[in-house]
Amino acid sequence: MKRRGELLLTVASVVGMGTSAAAALTIWLLLTQPLSVANAVNARDLGPLLQVMAGALADALSVVIRYL
């Protein structure tokens, strides 16, 4: 029983961190690329929004890697 509770807490934590990261990235995109986000929301198509999010994430990771 204790192991199941620990697993549930771990899964909930991972899902929470992923959701928080997606929300933060969406807010960042609203500030940096508002037209892309507005067009994706207006068209009700998440494909372009996910592409912009992936590009922003790749750019951030490349900056961190160059820094290290």
DSSP, residue by residue, 1-68: -HHHHHHHHHHHHHHHHHHHHHHHHHHHHHHH-HHHHHHHHHHT-HHHHHHHHHHHHHHHHHHHHHH-
In this prediction the pTM is 0.66
Whole-number pLDDT of residue 62: 93
For residues 1 and 60, the model is more confident at: 60
User: Which comes out higher in pLDDT, residue 11 or 36?
Assistant: 11
Q: What is the pLDDT of residue 1?
A: 58
Q: What is the pLDDT of residue 12?
A: 92
In the structure, what pLDDT confidence band is assigned to residue 13 with cuts at 50, 70 and 90?
very high
